[in-house]
Amino acid sequence: MVQFAEARSSVGAPLHGADDFGPKLGASRVRSDSDAKHAQHGSAQDLQQGISELQAAFASQGGVVSVDPDVLHQHGFSVNDYHDGMAHSVVVYPHSTEDVVQIVNISRKHKMPIIPYSGATSLEGHFIGVTGGGICVDMSEMDSILEIHEADADLVCQPGVLWMDVNATLAEKGIPLFFPLDPSPGATLGGMLSTGCSGTNAVRYGTAKGEWFLNATVVLPSGEVIKTRRRARKSSAGFDTTKLFIGAEGTLGIVTELTIRLAPLLPTNVAVVQFPDVETATRASIEVMNRGVGIQCVELVDDNFMRATNSYGQSARKWPEKDSLFFKFQGPSQVALDDTARIVREIVERHGGTGFALAANAKEAADLWADRKNAHYSGLALVPGSRGWATDVCVPVSNLPKLVQETKRDLAELGIVSTIVGHIGDGNFHCLLLFSNEEEQAIVRDAVHKMVERAIALDGTCTGEHGVGIGKREYLYEELGTGTVELMKTLKRTIDPFNLFNPGKLYPDEPTVADDLEKSER
Which pLDDT belongs to residue 519? Answer: 61
> Mean pLDDT of all residues in the chain?
90
pLDDT at 512: 67
Segment among 22-31, 270-279, 345-354, 497-506 with least mean pLDDT: 22-31
- Confidence label for 140 from pLDDT (cuts 50, 70 and 90): very high
pLDDT tops 60 at residue 10: no
Cα–Cα distance measured from residue 237 to residue 239, given in angstroms and rounded to the nearest whole number:
7
410 phi and psi angles, rounded to 5 deg: -60, -45
In this structure, are residues 255 and 190 in contact, taking their beta carbons and an 8 Å threshold? yes
pLDDT at 13: 32
Select from 182, 204, 209 the least CA-distant residue to 194. Answer: 209
pLDDT, position 5: 41
Question: Residue 26 — very low, low, confident or very high, per pLDDT cuts 50/70/90?
Answer: very low
Which percentage of the chain shows pLDDT scores above 70? 90
Query: For the segment 241-276, what is each residue's pLDDT rounded down to a tens digit?
Result: 999 999 999 999 999 999 999 999 999 999 999 999
Q: What is the DSSP track for 118-167?
A: SS---SS-SSSB-SS--EEEEGGG---EEEEETTTTEEEE-TT-BHHHHH
Question: 145-264 has which fold?
Answer: 3.30.465
pLDDT of residue 6: 37
The closest alpha carbon to 472, from 441, 444, 502, 505, belongs to 505
Q: Is the dihedral of CA 35, 46, 138, 57 positive or negative?
A: negative
pLDDT of residue 85: 86
Instruction: Report residue 240: phi and psi, to 5°.
Output: -85, 95
Are the beta carbons of 245 and 193 closer than 8 angstroms?
A: yes
The pLDDT of residue 373 is: 86
Name the band, by pLDDT with cuts 50, 70 and 90, for residue 388.
Answer: very high
* Interatomic CA distance for residues 472 and 449, integer angstroms: 9
What pairing do the DSSP bridges indicate for beta strands 90-92 and 65-66?
antiparallel
CA distance 474 to 510: 9
Pairwise CA distance, residues 448 & 303, whole Å: 20
At 517, the pLDDT band (50, 70, 90 cuts) reads: low
Residue 134, CA distances (Å) to 85, 258, 433, 498 in order:
13, 26, 33, 13
Mean pLDDT of 289-304: 94
Among 261, 260, 242, smallest CA distance to 252 is for 242
- Confidence label for 516 from pLDDT (cuts 50, 70 and 90): low
Say what the pLDDT of residue 17 is. 32
Q: pLDDT for 440-459, tens place per residue? A: 999 999 999 999 999 999 99
Alpha-carbon distance of 233 to 270, in angstroms, equals 31
Residues of the chain with CATH 3.30.43.10: 44-138
Q: Which CATH class is domain 268-457?
A: alpha beta
Report d(CA 197, CA 206) in Å as an integer.
10
pLDDT for position 515: 62
Structure confidence at residue 132 as a pLDDT band (50, 70, 90): confident
Longest dimension (CA), the chain: 70
Task: Give the residue among 424, 176, 408, 417 at the shortest CA–CA distance from 285.
Answer: 424
Q: What is the mean pLDDT of residues 42-48?
A: 93
For residues 195-206, average pLDDT: 93
What pLDDT shows up at residue 246? 97
Asked whether the beta carbons of 214 and 438 are under 8 A apart, the reply is: no
Residue span(s) of the chain under CATH 3.30.465.10 come to 145-264
Assign residue 479 a region (left: φ > 0; alpha: ψ between -120 and 50; beta: otherwise): alpha
Which amino acid, residue 404?
V
pLDDT of residue 172: 98
Provide the CATH topology of domain 44-138.
3.30.43
Per-residue confidence (pLDDT) for residue 79, from 0 to 100: 85
Q: What is the 3-state secondary structure (H, E, C) of 373-398?
A: HCHHHHHHCCCCCCEEEEEEEECCHH
